[in-house]
């Protein structure tokens, strides 16, 4: 297959450069140079990979891609070409599957978000709360894109059309059994490195909240659901009441 035939096929099928790169394994920059004519004589193995992409049905290529065979080298462009129903986070070039949200998980995140939003509105604050799913390009690079359950952004310049570009001030993860290790270790270290000021891990199965206020010398501070939990970035003026959440759990919500 000639390069011109590939160009014709790309136009016919409506493929994007990112999609071709993702599913062929050829770097995005190389694909762009070949199709723009900047690279006149591509390497033989590169041409074979592209030819294989255009000759094989897309659904077959996507099946291979979905196994994350390039883990460690994925970028935000790869993340954005995934199907909407494929819920993952991108951390340092690796894809991590996300657990499907349960009614209880969403209810807990929603209740925390509601109390934060009410406080900000009632006090005329300028910070912006958000709730998942919102993409957060944490490190302002091409290797990490996460979806925290709840967050607060106080720097309006970080709010973009796609989501948040940079580290939010405050983040909450409501953990699930399948994401527990990631939330307690990997995300904790990423949030520290990125400059997040405060991070909460809400373990509703244990009815406890681990509060990491990184501007303090002592963390985490562990709270139960039996008393309000202070939000440190607001100098304890905002406290999240877990009474409703505790009641829902008692009623059997999961």
Domains of the chain from N-terminus onward: 3-97 (1.10.260), 103-250 (3.90.1570.10)
pLDDT at 67 (0 to 100): 47
Q: How far from the centroid of its chain's Cα atoms is residue 139's Cα?
A: 11
pTM: 0.72
- According to DSSP, the β-strands at 128-131 and 150-153 are antiparallel
140 Rama class: left (phi>0) / alpha (psi -120 to 50) / beta:
left
What is the predicted pLDDT for the residue at 144? 95
The Cα 209–Cα 79 span in angstroms is 30
**Number of other residues whose CB lies within 10 A of the CB of residue 113:** 19
Q: How many CB atoms lie within 10 A of CB 93?
A: 16
- What's the Cα-to-Cα distance from 63 to each of 57, 110, 206, rounded to whole Å? 10, 34, 38
- The parts of the chain modelled with pLDDT lower than 50 are 57-67
Whether a cis peptide bond, with omega within 30° of 0, leads into 220 is: yes
pLDDT given at position 251: 85
pLDDT score for 209: 96
């Amino acid at each position: 297959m000639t390069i011109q035939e590939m160009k014709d096929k790309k136009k016919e099928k409506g493929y994007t450069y990112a999609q071709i790169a993702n599913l062929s394994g050829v770097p995005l920059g190389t694909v762009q140079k070949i199709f723009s004519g900047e690279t006149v004589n591509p390497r033989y193995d590169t041409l074979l990979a592209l030819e294989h992409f255009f000759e094989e049905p897309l659904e077959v290529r996507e099946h291979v891609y979905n196994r994350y065979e390039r883990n460690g080298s994925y970028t935000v462009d790869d993340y954005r070409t995934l199907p909407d129903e494929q819920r993952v986070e991108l951390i340092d070039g690796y894809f991590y599957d996300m657990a499907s949200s349960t009614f209880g998980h969403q209810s807990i995140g929603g209740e925390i978000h509601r109390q934060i939003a009410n406080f900000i509105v009632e006090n005329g604050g300028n910070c912006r709360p958000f709730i998942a799913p919102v993409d957060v390009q944490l490190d302002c690079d091409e290797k990490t894109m996460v979806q925290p359950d709840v967050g607060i952004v106080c720097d309006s310049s970080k709010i973009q059309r796609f989501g948040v570009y940079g580290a939010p001030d405050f983040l909450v993860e409501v953990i699930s059994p399948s994401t527990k290790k990631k939330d307690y270790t990997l995300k904790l270290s990423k949030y520290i490195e990125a400059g997040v000021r405060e991070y909460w891990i809400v373990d509703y199965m244990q009815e406890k909240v681990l509060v990491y206020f990184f501007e303090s010398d002592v963390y985490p501070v562990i709270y139960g659901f039996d008393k309000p939990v202070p939000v440190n970035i607001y100098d304890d003026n905002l406290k999240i009441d877990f009474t409703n959440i505790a009641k829902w759990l008692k009623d059997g919500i999961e």
